């Protein structure tokens, strides 16, 4: 099936229907981040920031696949050794948002061991040049402390240009 796109009153350009659909999807997706992951740039809802960022960086939902977010949200009383329980309405609201914006691409598309972002293949690949001693610095303490090096992590921005390794 082909569609015709009219460029002016005298010229028409043939397009394959799937090309039109792809073009529309790309236009609707908005600008991509430098790492190619559109979902990482989704704005974080205030409730997500309030609940999750009270203990750690409010990780962008594109960092994990939907199945990981579902498992994490279903087991909040045992959230990596901490009771992060929330009321059922908040769990439902945040779960729906996380799943709707979960990773599907090279970043966050595959469930990492124990649903830990720091164990994902993309995280390991992005941080392969970080020395083991860096993770042990008092200001860093662990790979999950993104804000120790990523100065704009609290805004959901993990761009390498904003990285400052503590001494």
Q: Are 76 and 91 in contact (CB under 8 A)?
A: yes
SS3 160: helix
**What is the tens place of the pLDDT at every residue in 33-59?**
333 444 347 889 999 999 998 889 999
111-123: pLDDT as tens digits: 999 999 999 999 9
Q: What crossing angle do the helices spanning 88-100 and 66-74 adopt, rounded to 10°?
A: 170
Total Cβ atoms within 10 A of residue 117: 20
The residue behind tokens 């970043």 is 107
- Give the CA-trace dihedral at 123, 42, 57, 147, to 10 degrees: 70
Q: pLDDT of 142-158, one tens digit each?
A: 999 999 999 999 888 88
Give the pLDDT score at 115.
93
Mind listing the pLDDT tens digit for each residue in 76-100?
999 999 999 999 999 999 999 999 9
């Amino acid at each position: 099936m082909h569609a015709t796109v009219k460029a002016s009153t005298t010229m028409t350009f043939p397009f394959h229907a799937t090309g039109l659909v792809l073009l529309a999807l790309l236009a609707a997706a908005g600008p991509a981040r430098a790492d190619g992951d559109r979902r990482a740039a989704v704005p974080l809802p205030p409730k997500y920031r309030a609940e999750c960022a009270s203990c750690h960086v409010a990780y962008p939902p594109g960092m994990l696949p939907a199945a990981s977010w579902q498992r994490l949200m279903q087991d909040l009383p045992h959230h990596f050794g901490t009771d992060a329980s929330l009321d059922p309405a908040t769990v439902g609201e945040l779960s729906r948002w996380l799943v709707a914006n979960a990773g599907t691409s090279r970043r966050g598309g595959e469930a990492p061991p124990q649903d830990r972002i720091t164990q994902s293949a993309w995280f390991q690949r992005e941080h392969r040049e970080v020395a083991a001693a860096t993770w042990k610095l008092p200001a860093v303490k662990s790979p999950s402390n993104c804000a120790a090096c990523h100065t704009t992590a609290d805004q959901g921005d993990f761009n390498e240009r904003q990285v400052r390794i503590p001494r």
